[in-house]
């Protein structure tokens, strides 16, 4: 029986794989040959893309499950793993994205397959060893599933690398949603799209400029510097709680965890819950008017000063140097 790695991609659009989907496939390939579980019916173009990404078998689930919260999708993904096992390619790992929903799909697939689940994976080794940070980024851990199948929720930027394309088209197999999957499922009865900002995704961006209570509600200087740098905008909970910016921009324990190349923190004191979401950033720059602020303990470069003076000056200077 040959092992394979089952990568859950959700829907694949005709215009190509998203960066996050390519990264998941790359992560899967570290462990072995990959097959993909794709919801909906992928187009010819999407199938060609998948073959180019080294996918040998594409499992499809034609039923639309987007009106339910995670449970039926997890039931289907576990059924796909079962179908793969029957075909002689029992998955050594099931790989999903590390979004809130992705982790929950992993959680339920783990129960269904009696498989160990590891979330928040930042790097993988060929033998299945997963690297993650724990305790608000203060420890680095290596963990491994002891079960026949590992279920892994992988963070963005964990893997890259060009695939070995599969010759010809990927093999297509439809797997039905198990009959019991919808019985106890929660239904989405209304959905409101969030407005798009035109800036990079917070968790995918290589630069984040974040503002806190020190902005006093004026995110102008934060946004201006972010746009000059092509960065995403983030915020502390004090700023999101005050309603100055949406909760989906919150960085920290109960917001997003980011580890960009550069994190610029302005008017944020650096409480433990804020640090939990950003202290694995490569370079940290802090601007705060209080020299005693704890954020300076983790800053590679700190400015004791007024963000309303420092940030606009920095933005002007970058523009000037670029000519």
Ligand X SMILES: Cc1cc2nc3c(=O)[nH]c(=O)nc-3n(C[C@H](O)[C@H](O)[C@H](O)COP(=O)(O)OP(=O)(O)OC[C@H]3O[C@@H](n4cnc5c(N)ncnc54)[C@H](O)[C@@H]3O)c2cc1C
Binding partner of 34, given other proteins, ligand X, none, CB within 5-8 angstroms per partner class: none
Handedness of CA 215, 218, 220, 223 (dihedral sign): positive
The Cα 184–Cα 65 span in angstroms is 13
Cβ proximity to other proteins: between 56 and 306 the closer is 306
Cross-strand pairs, 116: 150
Cβ proximity to ligand X: between 68 and 244 the closer is 244
The Cα 113–Cα 91 span in angstroms is 11
Size of residue set near ligand X by CB under 6 A: 28
- Which member of 74, 80, 239, 285 binds ligand X (CB under 6 A)? 239
Contact 200, 209 (CB under 8 A): no
Task: Tell me the three state secondary structure of residue 304.
Answer: strand
The Cα 77–Cα 6 span in angstroms is 9
The Cα 226–Cα 260 span in angstroms is 13
Binding partner of 277, given ligand X, other proteins, none, CB within 5-8 angstroms per partner class: ligand X
In the range 262-281, which residues lie near ligand X by CB under 6 A?
267-269, 271, 273-274, 277
Continuous segment of H or E residues that includes residue 6: strand 4-11
Cα angle 221, 309, 228; round to 5? 40
Told to check if 321 binds other proteins by CB under 8 A, we report: yes
Choose the stretch contacting other proteins; rule: CB under 8 A; options: 37-45, 57-65, 66-74, 88-96.
Answer: 66-74
- Which member of 24, 71, 159, 245 binds other proteins (CB under 8 A)? 71
- Which member of 252, 264, 281, 284 binds ligand X (CB under 6 A)? 252
- Which member of 50, 93, 95, 287 binds ligand X (CB under 6 A)? 287
Told to check if 296 binds other proteins by CB under 8 A, we report: yes
Place of tokens 């397959």: 113
Binding mask 210-249 for other proteins (x = CB under 8 A): -------------------x-----------------xx-
For 16, left (φ over 0), alpha (ψ -120 to 50), or beta?
A: left
Q: What residues line the site for ligand X (CB under 6 A)? A: 212-214, 236-239, 250-255, 267-269, 271, 273-274, 277, 287-290, 293, 306-308
């Amino acid at each position: 029986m040959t092992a394979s790695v089952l990568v859950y991609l959700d829907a694949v659009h005709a215009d190509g794989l998203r960066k996050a989907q390519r990264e998941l496939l790359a992560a899967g390939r570290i462990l072995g040959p990959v097959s993909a579980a794709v919801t909906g019916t992928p187009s010819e173009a999407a199938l060609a893309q998948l073959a180019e990404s080294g996918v040998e078998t594409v499992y499809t689930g034609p039923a639309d499950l987007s009106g339910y919260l995670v449970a039926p999708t997890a039931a289907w993904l576990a059924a796909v793993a079962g179908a793969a096992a029957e075909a002689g390619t029992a998955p050594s790992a099931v790989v999903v994205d590390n979004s809130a929903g992705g982790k929950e799909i992993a959680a339920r697939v783990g129960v269904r397959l009696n498989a160990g689940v590891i979330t928040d994976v930042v790097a993988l080794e060929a033998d299945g060893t997963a690297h993650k940070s724990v305790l608000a980024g203060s420890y680095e851990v290596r963990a491994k599933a002891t079960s026949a199948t590992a279920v892994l929720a992988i963070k963005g930027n964990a893997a890259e690398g060009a695939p070995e394309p599969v010759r010809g088209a990927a093999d297509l197999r439809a797997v039905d949603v198990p009959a019991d999957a919808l019985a106890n499922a929660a239904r989405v009865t209304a959905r409101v799209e969030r407005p798009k900002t035109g800036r990079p995704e917070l968790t995918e961006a290589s630069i984040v400029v974040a503002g806190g209570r020190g902005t006093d509600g004026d995110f102008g200087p934060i946004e201006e510097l972010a746009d000059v740098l092509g960065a995403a905008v983030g915020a502390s909970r004090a700023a999101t709680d005050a309603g100055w910016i949406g909760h989906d921009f919150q960085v920290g324990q109960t917001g997003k965890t980011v580890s960009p190349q550069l994190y610029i923190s302005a008017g944020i004191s650096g409480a433990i819950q804020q640090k939990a979401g950003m202290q694995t950033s490569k370079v940290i720059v802090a601007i705060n008017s209080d020299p005693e602020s704890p954020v300076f303990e983790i800053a590679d470069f700190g400015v004791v000063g007024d963000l309303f003076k420092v940030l606009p000056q920095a933005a002007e200077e970058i523009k000037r140097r670029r000519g």
